[in-house]
Chains A and B, each alone.
Chain A
Amino acid sequence: MPDYKWPAMNKRKIMGTRVSRLDGPAKSSGRAKYPSDMNPQGLLQTAILVSPHAHAKIRSINTDAAKSMPGVAGIRTFVNAGAEVQWANAEIAIVAANTEEQARDAVRAIKVDYEVLPHMVREENLAKAGTRAKAAGEQITGDPDQALKDADVVLQSEYGIPVITHCCLEPHGQVSEWKGDAINFWPSTQAVSTVGNQLAQALSFDAAKIKVTCDYMGGGFGSKFPADSWGAEGARLSKDTGGRPVKVFLDRATELTIAGVRPSHFMKVKVGAKKDGTITAWQSDSWSTGGFAGGGMAPIPYVYANIPNRRMNHAAVSLNAGPQRAWRAPNHPQASFLTTSAITDLAAKLNMDPLDVFLKNANLTLREATYKSQLEKAAKMIDWKAKYHAPGEGKGTIRRGVGIGVATWGGAGHASKCKIVLHPDGSVEVELGSQDIGTGTRTCITMVAAETLGLPMSAIRVKIGTNSYPASGPSGGSTTIGGVSSSTRKAAVNALEKLFEKVAPSLGVPADQLEAVDSRIQVKGNPNKAMSWKQAAQKMGPQSIEEMGENVPAQAPREGLNTLGASGVQMAEVEVDTETGRVRMRKLVAVQDCGLVVNPKTAESQVYGACIMSICSALFEERVMDAVTGRVLNPDMEFYKLAGLPDIGEIEVQMDITPEHDARGIIGLGEPCAIGGGAAIANAIHNALGVRVPLAPATPEKVLNAIGNRRYA
């Protein structure tokens, strides 16, 4: 078997260097065309009619008036009479018309008769949830009752983090063209190679005849895997209208209501410890909702999972609210917030520096040495020693504080196939049915191929973004770079082997004595016995070399190209105006390992983005539900608040690149870096104020309510 191993760290020429995103100029200049930019000839625009009720039975839908409206080309319904809708803004019908305005006007002419049914849309008070709350069953380890009795100190506390919504810059949607027996589908997707199969299933259509194209996508974060009901109805509208292309992109209000949320998580907890800070017991009662289907338990206690005595109970609360979708590290940010808040408050009760408590209990994690070293690195970056003070200690109305968040994640590489074609003219093509996402799929694939073939990046043409290329998995679980880099590496090694066979006779050595370096094929270690890549390519004859490489997740750990298990620590410094409750970010630092880092520059970018998302959810984001009307009150970018540049403060990222981490292969980064920041910020606020703001986000309202009558001067 060929040797696919990554080149040694010190031998790499391209991998590990700081390369700017190859598609950056196209994106920043607007030349990159996203699915929502697709406007094929004859395009029909659409508008979707959504339910104004959070829970209702549909008695009838009448589209007659809408059909005869100007410009209307087609109407379809998502549901029929008799169906029940379980959340407001659930999709009811869709109109295709020549212009968006005509479609929107026509949608308003559709008459729906609803039987309005009782709804429940709030879950922060579990006692009010009644039968909507379903217990998940107790998990118990050791003897938590005895351990809590024996503990020197027991912290008892409550924390909560609300539902937040996906907020992709490019909303969910697709352009479809169903002509004859073939469908062209341009979805904004993080699953180029699987979304067409889903569409085929929904339409009972031949998957082989669906061509999916998505050269660029404007954000997914876990919410853009499915073909979606509106994708299927968009395609059907195209068929209904004789194959006219149909564009369906959700408007912002619908996007923020039905295109995926991150579940809430609330927890009542007791944590027991010895005087010296050793954590001995954990008992939590938690509940969460991700919509009508309820919500699973976050992995608590988080990272510090091996507390010897623990009891966890959880209830999933079903609400009449838009459904959850994976949101960058599903349930981990909540778990980090809940767990590190409790550990930080426990430290306060012990009169200990929380950093010491996190360090002391690192044996409760799966990677003690890594967490210890990352805690120390992050502490240095934030200057913990100088900045930490006892909670609430300080002078003046403006107070500063520092806090800690931790993260863990799986990662590794998804199933991925790559085809590499070496042409006799020396050009190289790389094809993968993967998507442009995260750390820069195109850029990293190019780097791996160039590194392996001994060519400059400019010599490699990478083609992704369609299901006509060999399939790669969806971009979920932080597995894309691991998957595509491994398959590219293997394809490139395989192709080189074939090229060596062609070239070996001319250089007078067996093929396995050759190597590709600096755009040459040469006898290993001997640049004098060499020929240029171009000359070598000519030895192929007229036929190109086509080789495949495949990453098979079950085999990957043996091959050493990618593996599971990332760790990270984030620390925040905040400033709190104790009179106004305003929290300002001063600094957020992130130490993140993800094994072998293909491109430190785009990796850091990924972490910067995750830090900004963490700031948004820690300080601003909350889906506001109205109990009476059952509606989301802030499905807009005005009251669904995200941070702007002046809200972000300084961010410092340190990729934890060490020979030990590198030797593990590629792990994946998208999710682990989006976990600990929010927790760190919440804990920094506690350090500044000496009181806990138990509910996120830390808005002036929540901060002032937590401060109560306490005076700061």
Chain B
Amino acid sequence: MQAFEYGNPTTLKDAFGLLGSNWSDAEILAGGTDILSLMKDYITSPKRVVNIKGIKELGGIARKGGNVRIGATVTLDDLASNAVIRASFPSLTQAALGVASPQIRNMGTVAGDLCQRPRCWYYRRGFGLLAKGPNGEMLVPNGENKYHAIFSSGPAYFVSASTLGPALVALGASVTIASASGNRSVPVEKFFVSPSGDGQREIDLKPNEIVTEILIPAPATKNATYEIRERELLDWPLTAVSVALRLSGSTVNSASIALGHVAPTIWRASQAEKMLVGKTITAETAEAAGEAAVANATPLSQNAYKLKLTKVAVKRALLQAAGVKA
């Protein structure tokens, strides 16, 4: 990795002073589970690395107004073992536990999960986020795309690597982003973006900004996350579905269904959400919602199987959230 300057601020103000206006100026270090490998592989070579783990206000999980606030540097392990989260947002606990490595749960942070870079193997081998070959050709659509997006019209075909994203989107959470010029709040759903050109990032964050917290609104939902991966050991999901249901008795008032690892962003299955309103969750309605969730998918040459997986994951997440045995 390229030699770099190391900043270790204890206040946000000091941290802002250490960040730059370009990504090559400075990168943020929290758990380090992603940034270090990116640097070792020369995928990113910042001049400065700014450790934000020493900033106290970025930690902690607490109720705040009508929300639950999760600090940016809360670890996945702290999140997974938190009783408030477990009671209200089991979908988030399940997602965190889906990171099946105690070592990574101990180090990885909540904001780091949202900000980590995609795992696309073309990107990680140095072919760029939009994965172009030596003659500028797009490598993914006809290449090795079994792990790539089934919802994308290009030019980005990677999938968002975020584990917590689907649960946070389904729960209607927002991220607070701070910079020297103040705070802004962005729904998690809008935080993920599909880059359309070289040099763009896949999240709505500028080089001089820091994610400080995540706010989850607290109205009672039945929620669950269901992910499918190739192995039980730590592995990137092939698909991960998180649902949050507002119910009157057993009738669905509203449903949020968010799909992970199937698009460059966290994908909302809006058609499936709509068709569940006024219905009861049963094996049949859950299956129909699964069908609807992938109705508009545009699989690539090798990943049509991910449609089937996503369909099943939607069904199983819904049944799990509603407590219905299939």
Question: Once bound together, how far apart are the Cα atoms of A258 and B176, in whole Å?
Answer: 46
1/0 contact string of A624-645 vs chain B (CB within 8 Å): 1111110101101011010111
Measured CB to CB, the closest approach of chain B to A601, in angstroms, equals 27
B133 contact from A620, A628, A646, Cβ within 8 A: A628
Measured CB to CB, the closest approach of chain B to A108, in angstroms, equals 7
Question: Is the pair B312, A580 in contact by a Cβ cutoff of 8 Å?
Answer: yes
Question: Once bound together, how far apart are the Cα atoms of A704 and B146, in whole Å?
Answer: 13
Q: Is A22 an interface residue, CB under 8 A from the partner?
A: no
Main SS class of interface, A:
loop
Given A108-B42, A631-B125, A705-B305, decide whether A626 and B228 contact each other with a Cβ distance below 8 A. Answer: no
B231 contact from A625, A629, A631, A643, Cβ within 8 A: A643
The stretch from B19-27, B136-144, B242-250 touching chain A is B136-144
**Complex interface: chain B residues within 8 A of A634 (CB):** 121
Measured CB to CB, the closest approach of chain B to A53, in angstroms, equals 9
Count residues of chain A with CB under 8 A from any CB of chain B: 35
Q: Is A231 an interface residue, CB under 8 A from the partner?
A: no
Question: Is the pair A627, B143 in contact by a Cβ cutoff of 8 Å?
Answer: yes
1/0 contact string of A152-166 vs chain B (CB within 8 Å): 000000000000000
Q: Is B3 an interface residue, CB under 8 A from the partner?
A: yes
1/0 contact string of A95-112 vs chain B (CB within 8 Å): 000000100110010000
Question: Is the pair A629, B139 in contact by a Cβ cutoff of 8 Å?
Answer: yes
A628 contact from B3, B42, B143, B235, Cβ within 8 A: B143
Q: Is B15 an interface residue, CB under 8 A from the partner?
A: no
1/0 contact string of B45-86 vs chain A (CB within 8 Å): 000000000000000000000000000000000000000000
Question: Is the pair B133, A700 in contact by a Cβ cutoff of 8 Å?
Answer: no
Interface residues of B in 1-20 (CB under 8 A from A): 1-3
Question: Once bound together, how far apart are the Cα atoms of A215 and B293, in whole Å?
Answer: 58
**Complex interface: chain B residues within 8 A of A643 (CB):** 231, 233
Question: Is the pair B231, A644 in contact by a Cβ cutoff of 8 Å?
Answer: yes
Question: Is the pair B309, A626 in contact by a Cβ cutoff of 8 Å?
Answer: no
Given A624-B144, A629-B127, A705-B305, decide whether A101 and B1 contact each other with a Cβ distance below 8 A. Answer: yes
Question: Is the pair A579, B143 in contact by a Cβ cutoff of 8 Å?
Answer: no
Interface residues of A in 656-699 (CB under 8 A from B): 699
Pick the most buried of A105, A624, A700: most chain B CB atoms within 10 A of its CB: A700
Question: Is the pair B144, A626 in contact by a Cβ cutoff of 8 Å?
Answer: yes
Q: Is A116 an interface residue, CB under 8 A from the partner?
A: yes
Q: Is B157 an interface residue, CB under 8 A from the partner?
A: no
Name the CB-closest residue of B to A102.
B3
Q: Is A477 an interface residue, CB under 8 A from the partner?
A: no
A641 contact from B42, B124, B133, B231, Cβ within 8 A: B231
Q: Is B191 an interface residue, CB under 8 A from the partner?
A: no
Question: Once bound together, how far apart are the Cα atoms of A116 and B133, in whole Å?
Answer: 13
Question: Once bound together, how far apart are the Cα atoms of A75 and B28, in whole Å?
Answer: 35
Q: Is B134 an interface residue, CB under 8 A from the partner?
A: yes
**Complex interface: chain B residues within 8 A of A619 (CB):** 230-231
Question: Once bound together, how far apart are the Cα atoms of A644 and B235, in whole Å?
Answer: 10
Measured CB to CB, the closest approach of chain B to A630, in angstroms, equals 10
Pick the most buried of B133, B234, B312: most chain A CB atoms within 10 A of its CB: B312
Name the CB-closest residue of A to B3.
A101
**Complex interface: chain B residues within 8 A of A584 (CB):** 232
Question: Is the pair B305, A700 in contact by a Cβ cutoff of 8 Å?
Answer: yes
A647 contact from B119, B127, B147, B233, Cβ within 8 A: B233
Q: Is A113 an interface residue, CB under 8 A from the partner?
A: no
Question: Is the pair A624, B121 in contact by a Cβ cutoff of 8 Å?
Answer: yes
Q: Is B122 an interface residue, CB under 8 A from the partner?
A: yes
Question: Is the pair B143, A700 in contact by a Cβ cutoff of 8 Å?
Answer: no
Q: Is A534 an interface residue, CB under 8 A from the partner?
A: no
Q: Is B106 an interface residue, CB under 8 A from the partner?
A: no
Question: Is the pair A704, B305 in contact by a Cβ cutoff of 8 Å?
Answer: yes
Measured CB to CB, the closest approach of chain A to B90, in angstroms, equals 21
Name the CB-closest residue of A to B137.
A628
Q: Is A76 an interface residue, CB under 8 A from the partner?
A: no
Question: Is the pair B231, A704 in contact by a Cβ cutoff of 8 Å?
Answer: no
Question: Is the pair A700, B309 in contact by a Cβ cutoff of 8 Å?
Answer: yes
**Complex interface: chain A residues within 8 A of B234 (CB):** 644
Interface residues of B in 252-309 (CB under 8 A from A): 302-303, 305, 308-309
Given A631-B125, A646-B233, decide whether A580 and B228 contact each other with a Cβ distance below 8 A. Answer: yes
Interface residues of A in 83-131 (CB under 8 A from B): 101, 104-105, 108, 116
Measured CB to CB, the closest approach of chain B to A710, in angstroms, equals 12
Given A101-B3, A629-B127, A647-B231, 9 more pairs with CB closer than 8 A: A579-B308, A579-B312, A619-B231, A628-B133, A629-B125, A641-B235, A644-B234, A700-B305, A701-B305
Chain A positions near chain B (C-beta within 8 angstroms): 101, 104-105, 108, 116, 579-582, 584, 619-620, 624-629, 631, 633-634, 636, 638-639, 641, 643-647, 699-701, 704-705
5 closest Cβ pairs, A-B complex: A644-B233, A646-B232, A633-B121, A704-B305, A579-B312
> What are 13 A-B residue pairs whose CB atoms fall within 8 Å in the complex?
A580-B309, A581-B305, A619-B231, A620-B230, A624-B121, A625-B144, A627-B143, A628-B133, A633-B125, A641-B235, A643-B231, A643-B233, A644-B100
